[in-house]
Amino acid sequence: MANFSERVRALREARGLKQTEMAEICGVKVRSYQRYEHGDSYPEVPGLVFLADYFGVSLDYLMGRKDERE
């Protein structure tokens, strides 16, 4: 199963977005977003919920706990 950093990167790439664009969408600095994709940090709970809603996936999928998107 993929982990959070792999999932968030794949979801971003599937939408054709750059890391700078995702950082702006999430309301965080580019370096903070890059740390998410490198597995160095995680967003706080509201940020995780935002990402799951934005990509239309469940939190379990986003965090790598399940392979089903919903």
CA separation for the pair 20, 65 (Å, rounded): 27
Count: domains in the chain: 1
pLDDT of residue 1: 66
In a domain, 18, yes or no: yes
Q: Which two tokens stand for residue 52?
A: 């799951």
Question: What is the domain extent for residue 32?
Answer: 4-62
pLDDT of residue 69: 86
Q: Which two tokens stand for residue 16?
A: 């054709």
In a domain, 32, yes or no: yes
In a domain, 34, yes or no: yes
In a domain, 68, yes or no: no
Task: Give percent above pLDDT 70 in the chain.
Answer: 99
- Is the pLDDT at 68 greater than 90? The verdict is no
Alpha carbon 14 to its chain centroid, in Å, reads: 12
In a domain, 55, yes or no: yes
pLDDT tens column, 1-13: 689 999 999 999 9
Domain CATH for 11: 1.10.260.40
In a domain, 57, yes or no: yes
